[in-house]
Structure 1
Amino acid sequence: MSSSISRSQQKQPKEPAAPKLPTSLAVARLPAHDLEDDRTYRSMAFTGIDLSDRDVEIADFEGCRLVDTGFAGTRLRRADFVDVEFERCDLSTMAARTTTMRRSRVSSSRLTGTTWTECAFRDVLFDGCRADLVGFRFSTFTGTVFRDCSMSEANFQNADLRGVRFERCDLTRAQFSQAQMDGARFADCTLAGIGGVTDFKGAIVRSQDAQGLLYVLAGALGITIEQ
């Protein structure tokens, strides 16, 4: 018997744990289910609801599905999202601090200019999102995947990205200064003009992606590349 292992038999990267949603969800409606301080939203379906420009100290979402729901400009502090699905939601310019997200999925949503400061993400998938200018400063990620996302000028300064996967993402001019990168994986990503390239120690980058790092790394080391 051959000791070689075929590609199909090789261990595949582990996907984030999927959200555990109840089979039946109550329908959320305004004003009864507006976003308010110190409130828990459990086993609910939010569809086409505008929750933008709210200012909330504490809010918990558990086992909820949010579709075409708006959080634009909303400010959250110490919020908690557990087993939550966001689909086609507008989170642009939302500001979240010391917020957690676990076993959740954010797909086909807009995160332009959103800031997640000192937040924690565990088993989260960001899939097909527009996330230019998004900020994740001082945030921590465990078992998190960014897939098919447009993330130009994203800010991961001082973030803990150990083990995070970026797949087919545009990270042009993204900032990684002082980030922890051990085991972070980049596959089929655009890495042109990124900041903090000298902090990529421990990251795993596919050979074709590494070409985009060449000029940035050379510039950081004071090397001139001639044609």
Structure 2
Amino acid sequence: MPSSARSAPKPPREPAPPRLPAPSALVVLSGDDVEDDGTYRSAGFGDAGLSSRGLDAVDFEECRFAGASLSGARARRTGFTDVELERCDLSNMRAEMSSLHRVRVSASRLTGMAWTECVFREVTFDGCRADLAGFRFSSFKNVVFRDCVMPEATFQNADLRGVRFERCDLTRAQFSGARMEGARFTDCALPGIGGVTAFAGATVSDRDAQGLVRALAGAMGITIED
């Protein structure tokens, strides 16, 4: 094989689940217990009181957030490892240079959330509302968005080579400048997306591809008449 030849990217696999202790082993904490530069391990957060809080260099490990609100929180260099977020409100949360590793986010609200220059590894987003959510300049490895409503979400300049989108509404989502070799789209709504030329190397189901036709034609200056 010539040295210049590139091997095909491996298809994304199912993310590894978070490693969590038994519920009885979790120590219940509140927002008042969380401080910058702190590490919180084997903790449970309910109505955590983290809305509009600053979270600078905080690490959450083997933690469970159930019905917690981080709405409007501002995170920088914050890490979530082996964490579950269920029925949480992350709307308008802002995060920079933060990371999620072995994390499951389910039935949660992510409206207007912006995670910029962040790292997502082994993460599942399941049944979430993420309209206007932003993931600019972030990187993804073994990540699944499943049954998510994501109109006008932004993946500008993101590395999406390890992502699967399954049954997601991505109407008018923005993919300009994204790297998408090996990304997969199955039963997704894709009308009006931006950055369609970034889809080079992605795998799209036949049904989904029909939604790309008008966006691709527009990018190439082609007019489609009814």
TM above 0.5, yes or no, is yes
Q: Is the partner of 2:208 in helix, strand or coil?
A: helix
Tell me the secondary structure at the aligned position of residue 218 of structure 2.
helix
**2: distance between equivalents of 1:69 and 1:176?**
30
Q: Which amino acid aligns with 2:26?
A: L
Per the alignment, residue 173 of structure 2 pairs with: 174
Aligned length: 214
Tell me the percent identity: 63
Query: Hey, what's the Cα distance between the residues in 2 that align with 1:226 and 1:97?
Result: 44
Name the SS for the 2:101 alignment partner.
strand
Q: Shift of residue 27 of structure 1?
A: 1.4
* Whole-angstrom CA distance in 1 between matches of 2:67 and 2:162: 30
* 1:205 to 1:221, Cα distance in 2 relative to 1, 3 A: same
How far the C-alpha of 1:226 sits from its partner, in A, is 1.8
Question: 1:209-220 to 2 correspondence within 5 Å?
Answer: 209-220=208-219
Q: Does 1:25 align with 2:32?
A: no
1:139 CA drift (Å): 0.2
Secondary structure of 2:80's match?
strand
Instruction: Say if 2:169 and 2:190, in contact at 8 Å, map to a contact too.
Output: yes
1:13: how far off? 6.3
CA distance in 2, matches of 1:53, 1:96: 12
Larger deviation, residues 13-22 vs 118-127:
13-22
| Other structure's SS at 1:62 match | strand
Q: Measure, in 2, the Cα distance between the counterparts of 1:221 and 1:117.
A: 29
Corresponding position of 2:62:
63
Secondary structure of 1:144's aligned partner: strand
Cα distance in 2 for partners of 1:30, 1:207 equals 47
1:16-55 Cα offsets, whole Å, 9 max, x none, are 0000001221111353x2x321111100111122210111
Is 1:90 aligned to residue 89 of structure 2?
yes
Deviation string 1:146-190 (CA, Å, 9 cap, x unpaired) is 000011000000000002100000000000001000000000000
Deviations 1:103-141 (A, max 9, x none): 010000000000000000000000000000000000000
- Residues 112 and 131, structure 2, Cα contact 8 Å, conserved in 1: yes
Shift of 1:15: 1.1
The 1-side partners of 2:116 and 2:30 are apart by 29
Residues 144 and 165 of structure 2 are in contact (CA less than 8 Å); yes or no, is this contact kept in structure 1?
yes
TM-score (norm 2): 0.92
Large movers: runs of 4+ above 6 Å: none
Letter in 1 for 2:91: S
Residues 28-83 of structure 1, C-alpha deviations (whole Å, 9 max, x = no match) = 1353x2x3211111001111222101112210000000001011111000000000
SS of 1:89 mapped into structure 2: coil
* 1:35-50 alignment, distance < 5 Å: 35-50=34-49
Identify unmatched segments of 5+ residues in structure 1.
1-11
State the distance in 2 between where 1:56 and 1:84 align: 16
Name the SS of the counterpart of 1:199 in structure 2: helix
In the TM superposition, 1:69-80 aligns within 5 A as: 69-80=68-79
Distance across 1 between alignment mates of 2:172 and 2:92: 19
Counterparts of residues 192-207 of structure 1 (less than 5 Å): 192-207=191-206
Hey, what does 1:6 align to over in structure 2?
none
Tell me the equivalent position of 2:185.
186
